[in-house]
Amino acid sequence: MPEKQYRFIISGGGTGGHIYPAVAIANEIKRLHPSAEILFVGAQGRMEMTRVPEAGYKIIGLWISGLQRRLAVDNLSFPLKVISSVRKAYKIIKDFKPDAVVGVGGYASGPLLYAATKMGIPSLIQEQNSHAGITNKLLANKVDKVCVAYDSMYKYFPNAKIVLTGNPVRRDITELEGKRTEAIQFFGLNPDRLTFLVIGGSLGARTLNQSTDAALQKIEQAGYNLIWQTGKTYFPTAEESVRNHPADQIKAYDFIKRMDLAYAAADVVISRAGALSISELCLAKKPSILVPSPNVAEDHQTKNAMALVQKNAALLVKDIEASQKLWETAFALAKDASKQQTLRENIAQLAKPQATEAIVQELMKLIS
Which residues participate in the annotated binding site for UDP-N-acetyl-alpha-D-glucosamine? Answer: 15-17, 129, 170, 202, 256, 301
Return all residues near 5 (Cβ < 8 A) that are at least 6 apart.
35, 36, 37
CA atoms within 13 A on the CB side of 345: 6
Range list of H helices, the chain: 16-32, 48-54, 78-96, 109-118, 134-139, 180-187, 206-222, 235-242, 259-265, 275-284, 300-309, 322-334, 337-348, 355-367
Q: In what order do the strands lie in the sheet with 37-43?
A: 58-62, 37-43, 7-11, 100-103, 123-127, 145-148, 162-164
Binding residues: 15-17, 129, 170, 202, 256, 301
Backbone torsions φ then ψ of 252, nearest 5 degrees: -125, 140
List the alpha helices (DSSP H) in 37-104. 48-54, 78-96
Q: Are 110 and 255 in contact (CB under 8 A)?
A: no
| Residues 265/323, Cβ–Cβ less than 8 Å | no
Q: What is the rounded distance in angstroms from the CA atom of residue 338 to the CA atom of residue 280?
A: 22
Query: Is the Cβ–Cβ distance between 366 and 143 less than 8 Å?
Result: no
Amino acid at 85: S
- Spatial separation of the C-alpha atoms in residues 336 and 331, rounded to whole Å: 9
Q: Are 227 and 260 in contact (CB under 8 A)?
A: no
Task: Tell me the β-bridge partners of 195.
Answer: 225
